[in-house]
Chains A and B, each alone.
Chain A
Amino acid sequence: MGTDANTQALNHPPARLTGAEIVWATLVGEGVTDVFGYPGGAILPVYDALRKFPIHHTLVRHEQGAAHMADGYSRASGKVGVAIATSGPGATNLVTGIATAMLDSIPIVCITGNVSSKVLGSDAFQEVDITGITLPVTKHNFLISRAEDIAPAIRYAFQIAKSARPGPVLVDITKDAQQATAIFDFEAAKPRPHRIHPMRKVEESGLAHAAELIKNAKRPVILAGHGIIESGAMEQVRTLAERAQIPVALTLLGLGAFPASHALNLGMMGMHGESWVNHAIQDADLLIACGMRFDDRVTGSVATYATKAKKIHIEVDPAEVNKIIKVDVPLIGDLREVLEALLPRISSRDGAAWLKTIDGFKGDSAVRDIKNLPDLGHLYAAHVIHDIWRITGGNAIIVTDVGQHQMWEAQYYHHEQPRTLITSGGLGTMGFSLPAAIGAKFACPEKEVWVIVGDGGFQMTAGELATIAQEGIKINIAVINNGYLGMVRQWQEFFYERNYESTPMVSPDFVKLADAHGIAGLTVRTRGEVAEAVNTARSAPGAFLLNFKVEKEDSVYPMVSAGSALHEMIRRPGGNDPLEES
Chain B
Amino acid sequence: MLHTFVAYVEDLPGVLTRVASLFRRLNINIHSLTVGRSEQAGLSRMTVVCEASAEAGHRIQASLYKLENVVEVDDIAQAPSVTRELALIKVAATPRTRSQVFELVEVFRARIVDLAPESLTIEMTGVESKIEGLIQVLNEGEGRILEICRSGKLTMRRGHHTSGVLKAMSVGADESAEVPAEDGAAVEQE
A and B interact? yes
Chain A residues with CB under 8 Å of chain B are: 131-132, 135-136, 139-140, 143, 160, 192-201, 317-319, 321-323
Once the chains are docked, how many angstroms separate the CA of A196 from the CA of B168? 10
Find the residue from A135, A143, A198, A199 having the highest chain B CB count within 10 A.
Answer: A198
* Interface presence of B68 (CB below 8 A): yes
The 8 closest A-B pairs by CB, nearest first: A319-B62, A318-B62, A193-B175, A140-B68, A198-B179, A319-B63, A199-B184, A192-B172
Nearest A residue to B183 via CB reads A199
| Known contacts A132-B17, A322-B55: A192-B65 contact under CB 8 Å | no
| Known contacts A160-B68, A198-B184: A136-B62 contact under CB 8 Å | no
| Known contacts A193-B173, A318-B62: A135-B178 contact under CB 8 Å | no
**Smallest Cβ distance from B72 to chain A, in angstroms?**
8
**Smallest Cβ distance from A332 to chain B, in angstroms?**
9
Please give, as numbers and ranges, the residues of chain B lying within 8 Å of A139 by CB-CB distance. Answer: 66, 68
Nearest A residue to B169 via CB reads A195
Given contacts A197-B66, A198-B179, A317-B66, 17 further A-B contacts (CB under 8 A): A135-B17, A143-B13, A193-B175, A195-B171, A196-B179, A197-B62, A197-B65, A198-B181, A198-B186, A199-B65, A200-B178, A200-B181, A319-B59, A319-B62, A319-B63, A321-B62, A322-B59
Please give, as numbers and ranges, the residues of chain B lying within 8 Å of A201 by CB-CB distance. Answer: 181
Q: How large is the interface on B (under 10, 10 to 19, 20 to 34, 35 or more residues)?
A: 20 to 34
Find the residue from B21, B61, B179 having the highest chain A CB count within 10 A.
Answer: B179
* Interface presence of B117 (CB below 8 A): no
Choose among B18, B59, B186 the residue that contacts A135 (Cβ–Cβ < 8 A): B18
Contact B178 A196 (CB under 8 A): yes
**Smallest Cβ distance from B71 to chain A, in angstroms?**
8
Please give, as numbers and ranges, the residues of chain A lying within 8 Å of B17 by CB-CB distance. Answer: 132, 135
Once the chains are docked, how many angstroms separate the CA of A198 from the CA of B184? 6
Choose among B59, B63, B171, B173 the residue that contacts A198 (Cβ–Cβ < 8 A): B171
Nearest A residue to B174 via CB reads A193
**Smallest Cβ distance from A93 to chain B, in angstroms?**
22
Q: Is the interface of A mostly helix, strand, loop or mixed?
A: loop
Choose among B21, B61, B168 the residue that contacts A136 (Cβ–Cβ < 8 A): B21
**Smallest Cβ distance from A206 to chain B, in angstroms?**
13
Once the chains are docked, how many angstroms separate the CA of A374 from the CA of B15? 63
Nearest B residue to A169 via CB reads B68
Please give, as numbers and ranges, the residues of chain B lying within 8 Å of A192 by CB-CB distance. Answer: 172-173
Nearest B residue to A195 via CB reads B172
24 A-B residue contacts at CB 8 Å? A132-B17, A135-B17, A135-B21, A136-B21, A139-B68, A160-B68, A193-B173, A194-B175, A195-B171, A196-B175, A196-B178, A198-B179, A198-B185, A199-B62, A200-B178, A200-B179, A201-B181, A317-B66, A318-B62, A319-B59, A319-B62, A319-B63, A322-B55, A322-B59
Contact B25 A199 (CB under 8 A): no
Interface residues of B in 13-52 (CB under 8 A from A): 13-14, 17-18, 21, 25
Please give, as numbers and ranges, the residues of chain A lying within 8 Å of B184 by CB-CB distance. Answer: 198-199
* Interface presence of B58 (CB below 8 A): yes
B146-183: CB near A (< 8 Å → 1, else 0) gives 00000000000000000000001001111101110100
Contact A193 B68 (CB under 8 A): no
Choose among B18, B58, B63, B66 the residue that contacts A322 (Cβ–Cβ < 8 A): B58
Please give, as numbers and ranges, the residues of chain B lying within 8 Å of A135 by CB-CB distance. Answer: 17-18, 21
Nearest A residue to B168 via CB reads A198
Contact B21 A199 (CB under 8 A): no
**Smallest Cβ distance from A287 to chain B, in angstroms?**
20
